[in-house]
Amino acid sequence: MIRMESVPTKMTKKLLEELDRLVEEGWYASRSEAIRDAVRELAERRKLDRLEDAIEGDIEWGLHGQ
């Protein structure tokens, strides 16, 4: 069983309205589900950014030995 923890946060009214719209349109079952998905996507994107930076560094080193 996965243990969930609460993370208090504040959002602008506009952002909260967008979040609620996603839930109302059926994209997510709840605000919490939408926020978890957004954090997962952000974490994955940052992981890919770090990987791309490492690959670019390897290429630069391979081309110029620096």
Residues 5 and 14: their CA atoms lie apart, in Å, by 25
- Mean pLDDT, the chain, rounded, equals 92
Query: Alpha-carbon distance 11 to 63, whole Å?
Result: 46
Average pLDDT over residues 35-46: 96
Helix axes 31-64, 13-24, angle to 10 degrees: 110
Which string of DSSP letters, residue by residue, matches 1-47? Answer: -PPP--------HHHHHHHHHHHHTTS-SSHHHHHHHHHHHHHHHHH
Task: Please check the confidence at residue 46 and state whether its pLDDT lies above 90.
Answer: yes
> What is the rounded average pLDDT of the residues 36-65?
89
Tens-place pLDDT, residues 9-25: 999 999 999 999 999 99
- pTM for the model stands at 0.73
pLDDT at 66: 59
Written as six digits, the tokens of 22 are 């996603």
